[in-house]
């Protein structure tokens, strides 16, 4: 005899309940990556459901990428943490960049969102400047004095990374860390279109530093937003220049 609609609905609710409870344990850390789930029969006894409901619940978790199961082996938690997930995301973005360079501009927009949010957080503190921010600015000054363009660009990227890290928000830091290499490449590429001297570039960062140190959030945000927008403009020019050169050489 075929199950009624009511019976099917009840079974669905049972497996959804089991799935939700197991997901809470995984995301909450009670079940760590590499841990084995109990047998289907043990889970069924715990929740007072059929083993069929448990199998359906586990399949839901498999679909979400939270667990993996192989024939004859226990079901294993495979959830990646936020950092690993975003690292994979960064790789995906990099792959898209190779075929659609407009992604570079979208990366700049994401960078602007993170950095301006961070500035607001920092300027609300009694001591908003962390040592790595100062160290990066010093490195920029030394690179400026030595006319070391590559060194200056690397210190530039380190300055912005240090600002994000000093906010102490782990999620923002993880996000920025995983895209830091891409952002550095963007800075390198956009810097090929020279529109300012190293002296002017240093002074710009020094002013941002002073605004943050003095807890002038609005002023710091305005400067950083303008800096990133200007970099995006230079980026478009650099991309177009590269395309023109490729067409000419091809």
Q: Which residue has the tokens 């792959």?
A: 95
The domains of the chain are located at: 5-77, 83-249
Instruction: Return d(Cα 203, Cα 185) in angstroms, integer.
Output: 22
Tens of pLDDT, residue by residue over 44-57, are 999 999 999 999 99
Using one digit for the tens of pLDDT, what is the confidence trace for 194-216?
A: 556 889 889 999 999 999 999 99
Question: Is residue 190 within 8 Å of residue 144, measured between CB atoms?
Answer: no
Collect contacts of 32-39 with beta carbons under 8 A, ≥24 apart: 32/77, 33/77, 33/78, 33/79, 33/80, 33/81, 34/76, 34/77, 35/76, 35/77, 36/74, 36/75, 36/76, 36/77, 37/67, 37/74, 37/75, 37/76, 37/77, 39/74
Q: Which CATH class is domain 83-249?
A: mainly alpha
HSE-CB at 46 with a 13 A cutoff on CA atoms is 14
For residue 85, pLDDT beyond 60: no
Average per-residue pLDDT in the chain?
A: 79
Bridge partners of 76, per DSSP, are: 36, 68
Of the CATH numbers 1.10.1240.10, 1.10.10.10, 3.40.50.1820, 3.30.365.10, which one belongs to the domain with range 5-77? 1.10.10.10
The better pLDDT of the pair 94, 178 is held by 178
pTM score, two decimals? 0.58
DSSP symbols for 214-245: TT-HHHHHHHHHHHHHHHHHHHHHHHHHHHHH
* Alpha-carbon dihedral sign for residues 126, 128, 129, 131: positive
Q: Residue 185's pLDDT band (boundaries 50, 70, 90)? A: low
Q: Do 173 and 164 touch, CB atoms closer than 8 A?
A: yes
DSSP string of 64-75, one letter each residue: TTSEE--TTS--
| Predicted pLDDT of residue 6 | 42
């Amino acid at each position: 005899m075929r199950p009624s609609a009511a019976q099917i609905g009840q079974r669905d609710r049972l497996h959804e309940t089991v799935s939700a409870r197991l997901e809470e344990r995984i995301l909450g850390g009670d079940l760590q990556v590499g841990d084995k789930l109990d047998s289907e029969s043990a889970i069924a006894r715990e929740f007072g459901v059929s083993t069929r409901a448990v199998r359906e619940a586990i399949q839901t978790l498999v679909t979400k990428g939270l667990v993996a199961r192989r024939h004859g082996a226990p079901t294993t938690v495979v959830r990646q943490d936020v950092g690993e997930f975003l690292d994979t995301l960064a790789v995906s973005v990099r792959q898209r960049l190779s075929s659609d360079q407009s992604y570079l501009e979208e990366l700049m927009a994401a960078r602007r969102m993170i950095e301006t949010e961070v500035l607001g957080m920092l300027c609300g503190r009694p001591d908003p400047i962390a040592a790595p921010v100062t160290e990066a600015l010093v490195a920029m000054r030394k690179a400026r004095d030595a006319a070391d363009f590559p060194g200056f660009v690397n210190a530039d990227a380190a300055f912005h990374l240090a600002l994000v890290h000093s906010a102490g928000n782990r999620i923002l830091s993880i996000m920025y860390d995983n895209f830091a290499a891409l952002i550095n490449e963007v800075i390198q590429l956009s810097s090929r279109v020279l529109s300012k001297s190293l002296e002017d570039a240093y002074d710009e960062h020094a002013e941002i530093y002073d605004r943050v140190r003095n807890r002038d959030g609005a002023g710091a945000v305005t400067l950083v937003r303008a800096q990133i927008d200007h970099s995006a403009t230079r980026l478009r020019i650099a991309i177009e220049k590269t395309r023109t050169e490729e067409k000419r050489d091809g």
